[in-house]
Structure 1
Amino acid sequence: MTDIQHDDLKISVLASGSTGNVTYVETPKRKILVDAGLSGKKIAKLMESIGRDLAEVDDLLVTHEHSDHCRGVGVLARRYHLNVYANQKTWQAMATKVGKIPVDQCNVFEMGVTKSFGDLDVESFGVSHDAAAAQFYRLNHHGRSFVILTDTGYVSEKVEGTIKDANGYLIECNHDPEMLQMGTYPWSLKQRILSDTGHLSNEDGADAMIDVLGNHTQRIYLGHLSQDNNVKELAHLTVASIMKEHDLAVNHDFKILDTDPDRATRLTSI
């Protein structure tokens, strides 16, 4: 039993929300961050909270150039000598935000490609978001997989095919439509969020999970909640209720888990 646990794919959602996003992924031979949307100092403290050291991280994968995903990329790359990966359009779009990174640490990871990082195979896939070329990742290790998908206006059939039946998911539940409509955002911003290149609502996140979860799925993390247009308890209740309406065994076959913008989830084997 000990050997099996040692060889697990482990994850912690260090932070998820409209203010910043970072996910930590670990295998026996690799330690990776996906996005760095907080300051280097905050990310270091979040890593400490799960008993890990940023100095041990090997690679940083970037999904897109929005600040809540790339704010700390430059600092972490320079301070901890991380290898940074993003597609060419994202590199160009975030150049002014991340500052100068040593050339030998800058790597291109194009959309629709699978790259190997030691004992971890990472598949990139494009999504519908108002960024230069937003892409997210399915991380695979010895038959187990974890999918990160937190910024998209909708989930296409192509994406569904890529992310089906993973062991774990971090799925976007950005907003409650009524809270957004009644809120103080200008109409143009509301339209952007609700568009096909915006963000998934709580209901959208639930529907996406219904379409892709399978017999291997054990954990679904609800992520990227808006601090203005959502509430953690509401997101959880909405997703759980919709899934139960579809006769899915919530808390039996799989768990629905919450994330926070400033507190890491427990480092867990997927």
Structure 2
Amino acid sequence: MSLHFSVLASGSTGNAVYVGTDQTKLLVDVGLSGKAMEALFKEINRDIKEVSGILVTHEHSDHIKGLGVLARKYQVPIYANEKTWRAMNSLIGEVPTDQKFIFNMETTHTFGDLEVESFGVSHDAAEPMFYVFHHEGKKIVTITDTGYVSDRMKGTIKNADMYVFESNHDVDMLRMGKYPWNIKRRILSDVGHVSNEDAALAMADVIGENTKRIYLAHLSQDNNMKELAKMTVTQVLESKELGVNNQFTIHNTDPKKPTELVYI
């Protein structure tokens, strides 16, 4: 078993996912400070110096906060689509030209023994996209920061071994919460974030016989709770007669603590 991963951090305060093989180590987003990222890598017993590329999903600060610092310090190449590069260039500081690479939407790049496929999502950023990792018949999907999950997205992410799947908010908590109405409206919109229930309904359409683990990601600190997200998703999937805790397991993520390093 070579393919492995950890959700290093997930939430409105910062996001980062590590995916690696014995040969290739990649990072999706750097939404925490460089110092915090170094500490997270130590917690999963991985050397941050071995990261061979950083894949950027979009330019929001909770996904690129430490990007420039980390890339400069360790001379790591950064991959993003053209519109995202234009949107984030002024936000990450000076990065050497030979560390800047284009990874356009709906394309596949080869990184050593990892094939990485990009796909677009619906979010209020320049051109947000997420990634599917392929290695020796195994498949890892990262999908957060989307207002809904379209049939096109579902076709791309179907029957993965592992999902990092957005379960951002509980609709009632959001509606009754302290956020101004314009922020609530943005979150609930088609370019915002998916709720626990909508996430579960999308999961029900893509879970397949290969699916073993689902990680609930990008939970709102103000409009969700780990227990509530997990309970809601579990109830919806059980109502669809899907094998929760039998065929696959559901796991929480944390804004400050990495998930256990798991081999697939």
- Provide the C-alpha distance between the structure 2 equivalents of 1:201 and 1:119, rounded to a whole number of angstroms: 35
Counterpart selection for 1:173 from 160, 167, 175: 167
1:33 aligns with 2:12: no
1:243 aligns with 2:255: no
Matches within 5 A, 1:1-270: 5=1, 8-270=2-264
Residue ranges of structure 2 left out of the alignment (5+ in a row): none
SS in 2 for 1:32: strand
Q: Residue deviations 1:90-144, cap 9 Å, x none?
A: 0000111101100000000000000000000000000100000000000000100
The answer on whether the counterparts of 1:36 and 1:73 sit within 8 Å (CA) in structure 2 is: yes
SS in 1 for 2:227: helix
* AA at the equivalent of 2:153: V
The answer on whether the counterparts of 1:9 and 1:145 sit within 8 Å (CA) in structure 2 is: no
* AA at the equivalent of 1:146: I
Following superposition, the deviation at residue 63 of structure 1 comes to: 0.1
The alignment-based identity, stated in percent, is 57
Count of residue pairs the alignment pairs up? 264
The answer on whether the counterparts of 1:222 and 1:257 sit within 8 Å (CA) in structure 2 is: yes
- Provide the C-alpha distance between the structure 2 equivalents of 1:137 and 1:246, rounded to a whole number of angstroms: 26
- Provide the C-alpha distance between the structure 1 equivalents of 2:144 and 2:241, rounded to a whole number of angstroms: 25
RMSD: 0.5
- Provide the C-alpha distance between the structure 2 equivalents of 1:182 and 1:118, rounded to a whole number of angstroms: 48
Q: Residue deviations 1:240-262, cap 9 Å, x none?
A: 01101111110010000100000
- Provide the C-alpha distance between the structure 1 equivalents of 2:90 and 2:183, rounded to a whole number of angstroms: 24
**TM-score computed with the length of structure 2 as normaliser:** 0.99
- Provide the C-alpha distance between the structure 2 equivalents of 1:249 and 1:139, rounded to a whole number of angstroms: 24
SS in 2 for 1:244: helix
Runs of 4+ in 1 over 3 A off after TM superposition: none
* AA at the equivalent of 2:253: T
- Provide the C-alpha distance between the structure 2 equivalents of 1:38 and 1:207, rounded to a whole number of angstroms: 30
Q: Residue deviations 1:64-99, cap 9 Å, x none?
A: 000000111100110011010000000000111101
* AA at the equivalent of 1:132: A
* AA at the equivalent of 1:217: T
Following superposition, the deviation at residue 181 of structure 1 comes to: 0.3
SS in 2 for 1:242: helix
* AA at the equivalent of 1:148: T
The answer on whether the counterparts of 1:66 and 1:131 sit within 8 Å (CA) in structure 2 is: yes
Following superposition, the deviation at residue 239 of structure 1 comes to: 0.3
Q: Residue deviations 1:205-252, cap 9 Å, x none?
A: 101110001000000000000011000000000000110111111001
* AA at the equivalent of 1:172: E
The answer on whether the counterparts of 1:39 and 1:72 sit within 8 Å (CA) in structure 2 is: yes
- Provide the C-alpha distance between the structure 1 equivalents of 2:247 and 2:188, rounded to a whole number of angstroms: 31
